[in-house]
Amino acid sequence: MKTSLLMGIILCAIVTQPMALANDLPVIIPDSSWPVTKGGPGAYAHTRIRFLDKSAATTTVSEINTPAMIRSAYNLPSVGGAGAIAIVDAYNYPTALSDFNTFAGEYGLPKETSTNATASTNPTFRVVYATGKAPESGGSYIESWNLEEALDIEWAHALAPGAKIYLVEAASSSMSDLLYAVQVASALPGVREVSMSWGGSESSSETSYDHYFASTSVAFFAAGGDSSDDLEYPSASPYVVSVGGTTLNRNSAGALTSETGWNDSGCGISRYEARPAFQNVVSTDVGSHRGANDVAFDANPNTGVMVYDSTPLYGETGWWAVGGTSVGTPSWAGVVNLASVGNGVAAGSQAENARLYDTLDTSENYAAAFRDITSGDDGRVDCTEGWDQPTGLGSPLGLTGK
């Protein structure tokens, strides 16, 4: 954790109502979210999470989102989903099963009835070790990866409660270990979507690793990043759905008033990836290279989501108010999983992106499928009508066009 930031004393009791928290509270960037090494798959990836410093909270507005609040904001059903969603993260999260069930119990979601987190017969949630043995656990760096894992499994489950959730744990946060875990995840039974809330700098060798996401039966979702400075990989890959960040603005009564671009959302035009066919419709915006993001979702920690993690992080456990583009990545995987029940399973990420971008054919289709984010920016690039770098096509409205 950056030494100039306070340790998080975060939401240590279970809450059934939104926490009363002020806008613009101090935000903690945990150890795992600071870039370690630049370069290709030999480098180490970082997570895309930030969380609020509860010790500085005041009682002014209620903005931290529960599953019901997110469903209401995005016009999503409270039931549905099929097959499975795989979450790929690094290191061992020892309390994953119990935390998953605590979150599920709090919000009326299906629980995993097995007491063995790794049992292949688990119907609702299962942990898979990518190498066949449990990865390393413990220490603040790994424990902040644990909070990432908690966010990812809980919010994929919140938005697609009928889908089985796999947590695939890579041996480490090296890009090579994470990409190997992606390969394992995409081959698991029933997997329709794979969520990846991590990444590293673009590199000239990255196109040779796009094949990890080129499945014709699985859609891959990647976090766009939590820094406006640069586009990162794998969100730059044309074989993923790249997810940017927004702010859900609510009034003092908790009612949603608007959605704007989040000023830390990562985005950009790739230096190395050619423009994919699905972005021909926005070629005047992206030029000859792949532009990201494709879509957006709530990411501002001050309007973030509730997450339960009982593995100690900086000495604290319990409920956390979490943001970052890591919120939208498993959430969009859940939205697409929900939509696949009625719309059919897309034949891979590029087919899913083609479906999303096809909504631009008519204004009626687009308005039915997306909330166009037309105000705010990522610190460099403004949000505009239609597609833009920080928020892509926009945030989801219902299941149409997904």
State the catalytic residues: 148, 152, 326
Find how far residue 293's CA is from the centre of its chain.
13
Residue where the block lists tokens 């609510």? 250
Side-chain half-sphere CA neighbours of 136 within 13 A: 12
| Three-class secondary structure of residue 126 per DSSP | strand
Taking the C-alpha atoms of residue 90 and residue 169, their distance in angstroms, rounded to an integer, is 5
Q: Is 39 left (phi over 0), alpha (psi -120 to 50) or beta?
A: left
Q: How far apart are CA 156 and CA 64, in angstroms?
A: 17
CA–CA gap between residue 101 and residue 108 (Å, rounded)? 10
* H or E stretch covering 328: helix 328-343
Q: CA 279, 281, 285, 287 torsion: positive or negative?
A: positive
Instruction: Give, in order, the Cα–Cα distances in Å from 257 to each of 290, 331, 375, 395.
Output: 32, 21, 13, 15
Token reading at 326: 């890591």
Q: Which residue has the tokens 């319990």?
A: 318
Report which secondary-structure segment, H or E, holds 330: helix 328-343
Other Cβ atoms within 10 Å of 122 Cβ, number: 19
386: DSSP letter: S
Task: Give the containing element (helix H, strand E) for 186.
Answer: helix 175-186
| Assigned token pair, 108 | 């009326």
Residue 9, classed as helix, strand or coil, is coil
Fill in the DSSP letter of residue 398.
S
Alpha-carbon distances, residue 224 vs 20, 27, 74, 229, 386 (angstroms): 28, 19, 20, 12, 18
DSSP alpha helices (H): ranges in 22-139? 67-74, 96-106
Helices (H) then strands (E): counts for the chain: 8, 21
